[in-house]
């Protein structure tokens, strides 16, 4: 495949700060260094299925570095192997991967760059198994992809969550309240742990460490005994009580990720108000964590990922994902990238540091 001249690119799944930085890095490096023409597919895999494209050149990506979102648009409801369709009034699913393959061939493409999280990269891996050469770029605010140390978008989401904690701290202290901040992360607690650590969370509840409500109550009482009449609790959307289940806000059958987590913050607040004579207020950050201008870290990481993907393409590499290992950008087999989620180790140094400064995890 060495010497390829035409590649496609799409941004799949939820949007994420830094997507435009990746596109800019990929397109400019492809154009300036390797004379590679880039075709962008609109709205994730929908563009590949329905043949919706835009030409991406240096002019098209000029000025997009600080912008959030993605100029290509995105979607988490268009898996080519499971496209929703209404037949006789009933929701069903069709395999339209052959149409995706034909679109790829129609534009004379030699490689598809898939920028996405575990769901989008799993689809990319399926297309690779079907014969389409693919390079993946790891994107998710959840930081839960196992084959890279960091995903772009995480740092921006973390900064948003930390900033929210800073603001909640002042009102919690003023009104002597318990403040619960529910953050994203799905089944991994990276946002909750690091935002809680950076923002001075008194209690951090993560999916990897099931908590006891009574232990949370005890932690609040301990703080009150010491004269601290407010408490900041950071809870990941995928956190669950010991012996309990995750809280599901809704199920979207046509989505590539049907389960929508949410509601655990309100549930915890209700449980605490039963046991404590203190007002409990809940803030759910939700999609605020996905939006806005990316941090400098995410702009640089996204640019590095995009440039390295262009270099991999120029070398004729296929079916790999670009990855950050330590301080170096490298690549790993695409199949390895989707094997397992990267979750917190309850015995990790970060958890130890949090415990050492008095943070409670509700498991005592």
Provide the annotated active-site residues: 142
Contact 153, 13 (CB under 8 A): no
**Residue 123 phi, psi dihedral angles, 5° rounding:** -65, -40
**Residue 268 phi, psi dihedral angles, 5° rounding:** -65, -40
Q: CA-to-CA distance for 58 and 52, rounded, in angstroms? A: 20
Measured torsion, CA atoms of residues 19, 22, 28, 30, in degrees rounded to the nearest 10: -120
Contact 239, 211 (CB under 8 A): yes
Q: CA-to-CA distance for 310 and 42, rounded, in angstroms? A: 20
Q: CA-to-CA distance for 295 and 228, rounded, in angstroms? A: 33
Q: CA-to-CA distance for 323 and 330, rounded, in angstroms? A: 5
Contact 28, 137 (CB under 8 A): no
Residue with tokens 């609109």: 42
Residues 6+ apart with CB under 8 A from 8: 38, 39, 40, 41, 48, 53, 104, 107, 109, 111, 112, 113
Which tokens belong to 120? 């989008």
Contact 172, 178 (CB under 8 A): yes
């Amino acid at each position: 495949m060495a010497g390829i001249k035409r590649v496609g690119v799409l941004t799949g799944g939820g949007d994420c700060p830094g997507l435009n930085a990746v596109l800019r890095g990929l397109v400019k490096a492809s154009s300036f260094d390797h004379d590679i023409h880039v075709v962008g597919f609109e709205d994730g895999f929908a563009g590949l299925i329905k043949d919706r494209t835009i030409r991406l050149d240096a002019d098209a990506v000029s000025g997009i570095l600080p912008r959030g979102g993605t100029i290509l648009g995105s979607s988490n409801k268009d898996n080519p192997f499971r496209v929703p369709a209404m037949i006789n009034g009933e929701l069903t699913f069709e395999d339209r991967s052959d149409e995706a393959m034909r679109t790829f061939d129609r534009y004379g493409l030699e490689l598809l760059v898939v920028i996405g999280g575990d769901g989008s990269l799993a689809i990319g891996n399926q297309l690779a198994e079907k014969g389409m050469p693919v390079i993946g770029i790891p994107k998710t605010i959840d930081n839960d992809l196992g084959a890279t140390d960091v995903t772009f978008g995480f740092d921006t989401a973390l900064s948003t969550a930390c900033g929210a904690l800073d603001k909640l701290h002042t009102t919690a202290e003023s009104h002597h309240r318990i403040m619960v901040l529910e953050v994203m992360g799905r089944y991994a607690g990276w946002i909750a742990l690091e935002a809680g650590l950076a923002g001075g969370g008194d209690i951090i509840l993560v999916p990897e460490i099931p908590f006891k409500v009574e232990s949370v109550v005890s932690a609040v009482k301990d703080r009150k005994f010491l004269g601290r009449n407010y408490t900041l609790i950071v809870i990941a959307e995928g956190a669950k009580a010991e012996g309990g289940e995750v809280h599901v806000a809704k199920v979207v059958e046509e989505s590539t990720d049907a389960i929508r987590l949410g509601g655990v913050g309100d549930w915890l607040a209700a449980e605490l108000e039963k046991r404590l004579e203190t007002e409990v207020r809940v803030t759910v950050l939700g999609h605020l964590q996905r939006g806005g201008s990316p941090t400098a870290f995410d702009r640089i990481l996204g640019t590095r990922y995009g440039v390295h993907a262009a270099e991999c393409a120029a070398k004729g590499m296929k079916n790999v994902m670009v990855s950050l290992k330590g301080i170096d950008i490298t690549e790993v087999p695409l199949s390895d990238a989707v094997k397992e989620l990267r979750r917190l180790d309850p015995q990790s140094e970060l958890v130890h540091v949090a415990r050492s400064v008095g943070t409670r995890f509700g498991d005592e």
